[in-house]
């Protein structure tokens, strides 16, 4: 989102003032404010760090960029140490207490004493410090359950249960392989469904039925039957299209929108977002790992 905006401003600087495009450059500061607001013990000046797996991670550029923009330290697991359920970062002047960790490491690797005991990415004892309330992890351990695509089918029920409200937006009909009748529907209608592995991301582990071959559908039929819990299916959603100029040609590409919403002591919505683009003609897959791209997204002032 931030890189797209910078590129557009360099190329079409005059348009932004003319059309009253709202700024997104304040996002890093809003992110920092959110992280500071969730510090334990109402600390008025908490120390916030960004925990990264390191330079070989595919998203390290993002980690470094956000850390630099927020003005916080970027640390690896080896830079942290826990004493008496308190987290510290090693510095040239000695140990410095850490109050909030913006973590970019999966749960399994964050503490070798509690999860993967051979992990070199996390910090031993971190979970105990978290349990003691001496450090805040953002996002908290366990929030990755939202990445399980099977959870999506239950969101309307969650809204009714926790908020006593009816959902404003309707869900895309979702069939869960774990239910026998829905599993039968999936394997018998692969030609018209999008089938997704519940624990994959980036466009991997997915079958777009209408665009697939018979061999691909047969392979997925076997996969679903072998492990029904691992799959969900949905009808094709006709994504919006946006004019895209590429290789000397202007044509409509399918797009989706990823908004940026920060939830701390209050909810902050960034007036922009990331519009992802399926750059291959006719494709519905917008993921960058599958050849997709992105566009700057404008929200105009009143």
**CATH no., domain 38-141:** 3.40.50.11290
151-160, 225-234, 273-282: least confidently modelled range: 273-282
Q: At CB < 8 A and 24+ separation, what contacts does 114-121 make?
A: 119/77, 120/77, 120/78, 121/53, 121/54, 121/76, 121/77
Cis peptide bond N-terminal to 24, omega within 30: no
C-alpha to C-alpha distances, 31 to 72, 132, 146, 177, nearest whole angstrom: 11, 25, 20, 37
Structure confidence at residue 147 as a pLDDT band (50, 70, 90): confident
Give the separation between CA 128 and CA 134, rounded to whole angstroms: 9
| Percent residues over pLDDT 90 in the chain | 73
The answer regarding whether domain 147-235 maps to CATH 3.30.1490.270 reads yes
Structure confidence at residue 17 as a pLDDT band (50, 70, 90): confident
Top-confidence residue, 37 or 201:
37
225 touches 262 (CB < 8 A): no
The 10s digit of each residue's pLDDT in 88-139 is: 999 999 999 999 999 999 999 999 999 999 999 999 999 999 999 999 999 8
pLDDT value at 289 more than 90: no
Mean pLDDT of 184-205: 88
In the beta sheet, which residues pair with residue 8? Answer: none
pLDDT attached to residue 156: 95
pLDDT value at 165 more than 80: yes
How far separated are the first and last CA of the chain, in Å rounded?
22
pLDDT attached to residue 202: 61
**pTM of the full predicted structure?**
0.84
Mean pLDDT of 222-227: 95
Mean pLDDT of 172-182: 95
pLDDT value at 270 more than 90: yes
Give domain limits for the chain: 1-20+237-302, 38-141, 147-235
pLDDT value at 200 more than 80: no
Structure confidence at residue 251 as a pLDDT band (50, 70, 90): confident
Q: What mean pLDDT, rounded, does the chain reach?
A: 91
pLDDT attached to residue 124: 95
pLDDT value at 195 more than 70: yes
Within 13 Å and on the Cβ side, how many CA atoms surround 56? 1
């Amino acid at each position: 989102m931030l890189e797209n905006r910078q590129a557009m401003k360099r190329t079409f600087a005059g348009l932004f003032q003319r059309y009253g495009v709202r700024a997104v450059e304040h996002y890093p500061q809003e992110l920092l404010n959110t992280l500071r607001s969730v510090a334990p013990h109402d600390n008025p000046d908490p120390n916030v760090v960004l925990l990264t797996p390191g330079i070989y991670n595919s998203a390290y550029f993002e980690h470094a960029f956000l850390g630099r923009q927020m003005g916080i330290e970027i640390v690896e697991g080896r830079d942290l140490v826990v004493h008496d359920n308190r987290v510290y970062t090693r510095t040239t002047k000695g140990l410095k207490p850490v109050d909030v960790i913006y973590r970019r490491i999966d749960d399994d690797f964050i503490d070798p004493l509690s999860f993967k005991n051979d992990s070199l990415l996390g910090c031993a004892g971190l979970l105990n410090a978290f349990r003691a309330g001496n450090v805040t992890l953002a996002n908290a351990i366990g929030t990755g359950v939202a990445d399980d695509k099977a959870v999506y089918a239950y969101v309307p029920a969650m809204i009714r249960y926790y908020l006593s409200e009816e959902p404003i937006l309707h869900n895309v009909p979702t069939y869960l392989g774990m239910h026998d009748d829905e599993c039968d529907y999936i394997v018998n209608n692969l030609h018209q469904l999008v089938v997704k592995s519940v624990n994959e991301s980036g466009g991997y582990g997915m079958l777009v039925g209408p665009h697939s071959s018979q061999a691909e559908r047969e392979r997925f039929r076997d996969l679903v039957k072998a492990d029904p819990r691992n799959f969900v299916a949905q009808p094709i959603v006709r994504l919006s299209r946006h004019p895209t100029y590429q290789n000397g040609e202007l044509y409509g590409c399918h797009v989706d929108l990823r908004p940026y919403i920060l939830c701390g002591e209050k909810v902050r919505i960034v007036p922009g977002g990331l519009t992802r683009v399926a750059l291959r003609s006719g494709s519905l897959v917008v993921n960058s790992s599958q050849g997709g791209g992105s566009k700057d997204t404008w929200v105009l002032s009143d």
